[in-house]
Amino acid sequence: MKSTHLSLIAGAAVLAAITGFATVTAPGAPADTGAKSAALLPVERSSLVCPEPSNSDLAETQYTSFTPAGAGGDAKGTAELKPALPVADDEDETDPKKIKKAEEAAKKAKEKAEKPVLAVEEQGKPVVAEANGAGAPALVGTATGKLAPGWAAQQTTEVTAGGARGLLGVTCTAPDTDFWFPGASTAKSRQDYIHLTNPDDTGAVADIELYGPEGALKSDVGDGITVPARSSVALLLSTLTSEAVDQLTAHVTTRSGRIGAVVMSADDGVGSDWITASEDPSGTLVLPGIPADATSVQLVAFAPGEDDADVKVQLMGKNATFSPAGNATLHIKSSMTATVDLKDVTRGEPGSLRLSPVRKDRATPIVAALRVVRGKGDKQEVGYIPATGPVGARASVPDNRAKGSTLSLTAPGATAKVKVTASAGSEGGEPAVETYTVKAGTTIAVTPKAPDGLKGAYALTVETTSGGPVHASRTLARTEGGVEMFTVQTLPDDRGTIEVPTARQDLSVLDD
């Protein structure tokens, strides 16, 4: 038994060393049995993936990466985004010359993937990189030490002509295993590609399910999709099924590994933008930041469980919360996508949508997104707003310019106060701070105060200081050829801290 005791004691010592939070007690001393709350500590590692920006030769892309100022982990740290590896051709090749050429190309691609496209070197200041044309790759990256907590990145692409015309913005996402995309489509007028990016050194296998207004769509090719290590694949949704559906819900899960997933949607005559994943299924959802001048707003919702959902549809406007005329409630059948045309629901004022159960004792989890159109005729532009979680302690959006940024804040429950910090510019400028009060059940849209002496791009960081919860989004707009192009990014909690249980030594486990 002596050797067992020694191994257990050694194990306890190692655990204490690893966590850094154990209290080591001398043998024979009374054990501390008092319960201690978990410590809230900065994360020490973060991962992000960004999809391939565009297949248009006219695309102009700007990447922006940022870690907010504040307490971080280790004094040292890195935060780099590197190119994903190209997916190798599966076709068998026997020609020695072609095999050698392919091997050389793979070697060069691997060497290129080791060089960062952009790297954050200090907290509180964004870094920017640019890429033009259709050759820009997907990116994968990791942040460590003091640069990990709250690390964020965005890619913003402008395409001035063609089927992908528009301002396309997407927040680079943390890899996960489960994603819901209400608002995707297999209609003939749409070109929706789902991008799957694997940041890890081992391959991942993903499944894609599509659900229309009548339920699951037939598909024989959406299962078992291989995403090679540190690579990205893009699949046209309309090739996964023979059914053309205007508004559907795409569900992406992984059998093995983890991925980042996002949908690039191009709509003939209306423009293009990214559709990011909805907040996880919940009985109550908030979709913040409908532009005041929206000419068309469509709500797309889905109930993934076995039960139907009956939800209240409410608009939180500038001064109050109200139900849209004729659309106060929505019935969503289980495993079927429901769509509601809310038209110009905001009527010239900013607003946010809240979905909640008609009966509190029957809160069926749902996912949802908004398809928003600004402009009319051939001057239309489309954007998407998914349901999103609250800002929580802190959230950031990296890419803001001297003009064209609008921050939307909504408080669905209690009145709240938030602090908004405009960071230093990527090429110069001093941070600026403003505080806003958001009344319960309302939405405010503000033009952030830009940093003094701004040069380049800057980041916005939103912190809830009292009340709440607060949900937020940022609209980035630009006028090109008479088209008011725009894109909307939500600001959920950056999860820059994590609860770590307080460990203590308990030698009672060594008793016979």
Least confident of 94-108, 125-139, 159-173, 312-326: 94-108
Do 289 and 490 meet the contact criterion of CB atoms below 8 Å apart? yes
Please tell me the distance from the alpha carbon of residue 34 to that of residue 28, in angstroms, as a whole number. 18
Predicted confidence at residue 145, as pLDDT, reads 94
Least confident of 26-40, 100-114, 358-372: 26-40
The most distant pair of C-alpha atoms in the chain lies apart, rounded to whole Å, by: 83
Predicted confidence at residue 28, as pLDDT, reads 40
Please tell me the distance from the alpha carbon of residue 187 to that of residue 167, in angstroms, as a whole number. 21
Predicted confidence at residue 16, as pLDDT, reads 39
Please tell me the distance from the alpha carbon of residue 262 to that of residue 12, in angstroms, as a whole number. 43
Predicted confidence at residue 163, as pLDDT, reads 75
Least confident of 38-52, 92-106, 269-283, 346-360: 92-106
Predicted confidence at residue 511, as pLDDT, reads 55
Read off the pLDDT of each residue in 344-354 and give the average, rounded to a whole number: 94
Q: Which residue has the tokens 């946010």?
A: 352
Predicted confidence at residue 23, as pLDDT, reads 36
pLDDT digits (tens, 9 = 90+) for 73-92: 667 899 999 999 988 655 55
> Quick one: pLDDT band at residue 70, thresholds 50, 70, 90?
confident
Predicted confidence at residue 25, as pLDDT, reads 37
State how far the alpha carbon of 19 is from the alpha carbons of 15, 262, 498, 503, in Å: 6, 35, 13, 8
Share of the chain above pLDDT 90, in %: 78
Read off the pLDDT of each residue in 372-390 and give the average, rounded to a whole number: 96
State how far the alpha carbon of 472 is from the alpha carbons of 143, 158, 273, 391, in Å: 24, 23, 19, 7
Q: Which residue has the tokens 């830009």?
A: 450
Do 473 and 169 meet the contact criterion of CB atoms below 8 Å apart? no
Read off the pLDDT of each residue in 42-60 and give the average, rounded to a whole number: 94
Q: Does 2 score more than 50 pLDDT?
A: no
Predicted confidence at residue 403, as pLDDT, reads 93
Tokens of 33: 């049995």
> Quick one: pLDDT band at residue 14, thresholds 50, 70, 90?
very low
Do 157 and 60 meet the contact criterion of CB atoms below 8 Å apart? yes
Q: Does 377 score more than 60 pLDDT?
A: yes
39-42/178-184 β-pairing: unpaired
Q: Is 203 exposed, middle or buried (0-12, 13-18, 19+ CB in 10 A)?
A: middle
Choose among 148, 84, 86: nearest CA to 116: 84
Q: Does 501 score more than 90 pLDDT?
A: no
Predicted confidence at residue 490, as pLDDT, reads 98
Strands (E), 67-137: 79-83, 118-120, 127-132
Read off the pLDDT of each residue in 36-60 and give the average, rounded to a whole number: 89
pLDDT digits (tens, 9 = 90+) for 444-455: 999 999 999 999
What single-letter DSSP state applies at residue 99? H
pLDDT digits (tens, 9 = 90+) for 390-422: 999 999 999 999 999 999 999 999 999 999 999
Rg (CA), the chain: 24
Choose among 335, 212, 203: nearest CA to 259: 203
Assess whether the previous peptide bond of 469 is cis (omega < 30° from 0).
Answer: yes
Please tell me the distance from the alpha carbon of residue 195 to that of residue 101, in angstroms, as a whole number. 28
Please tell me the distance from the alpha carbon of residue 134 to that of residue 70, in angstroms, as a whole number. 37
**H or E segment at 414?**
none
Please tell me the distance from the alpha carbon of residue 174 to that of residue 495, in angstroms, as a whole number. 11
Q: Does 252 score more than 70 pLDDT?
A: yes
Query: Which is higher by pLDDT, 78 or 1?
Result: 78
Read off the pLDDT of each residue in 338-357 and give the average, rounded to a whole number: 95
Read off the pLDDT of each residue in 332-358 and give the average, rounded to a whole number: 96
Predicted confidence at residue 106, as pLDDT, reads 59
Predicted confidence at residue 36, as pLDDT, reads 60
- Put the strands of the sheet holding 432-438 in their side by side order: 395-400, 458-467, 416-422, 432-438
pLDDT digits (tens, 9 = 90+) for 460-487: 999 999 998 999 999 999 998 889 999 9
Helix (H/G/I), strand (E/B), else coil: 11: helix
Choose among 16, 33, 30, 61: nearest CA to 399: 61
> pTM value?
0.88
H-only helix segments in 115-180: none
> Quick one: pLDDT band at residue 508, thresholds 50, 70, 90?
low
| Helices H / strands E in the chain, number of each | 2, 38
Do 472 and 407 meet the contact criterion of CB atoms below 8 Å apart? yes
Please tell me the distance from the alpha carbon of residue 270 to that of residue 482, in angstroms, as a whole number. 14
Least confident of 24-33, 56-65, 122-131, 166-175: 24-33
Please tell me the distance from the alpha carbon of residue 94 to that of residue 327, in angstroms, as a whole number. 63
> Quick one: pLDDT band at residue 248, thresholds 50, 70, 90?
very high
- Taken in order 420, 450, 170, 198, the sign of the CA dihedral is negative
Tokens of 10: 């050694």
Question: Which domains does the chain show, CATH number per domain?
Answer: 2-42+499-510 (no CATH), 44-275 (2.60.290.11), 285-386 (2.60.290)
Count of other CB atoms within 10 angstroms of residue 455: 13
Q: Does 12 score more than 90 pLDDT?
A: no
State how far the alpha carbon of 139 is from the alpha carbons of 113, 211, 265, in Å: 9, 29, 19
Read off the pLDDT of each residue in 265-280 and give the average, rounded to a whole number: 96
Read off the pLDDT of each residue in 25-39 and give the average, rounded to a whole number: 51
Predicted confidence at residue 9, as pLDDT, reads 37
Q: Mean pLDDT for the chain? A: 89
Predicted confidence at residue 347, as pLDDT, reads 87
Please tell me the distance from the alpha carbon of residue 496 to that of residue 171, in angstroms, as a whole number. 16
Torsion of CA 270, 196, 55, 490, to 10 degrees: 40
Predicted confidence at residue 39, as pLDDT, reads 78
Tokens of 212: 């229309």
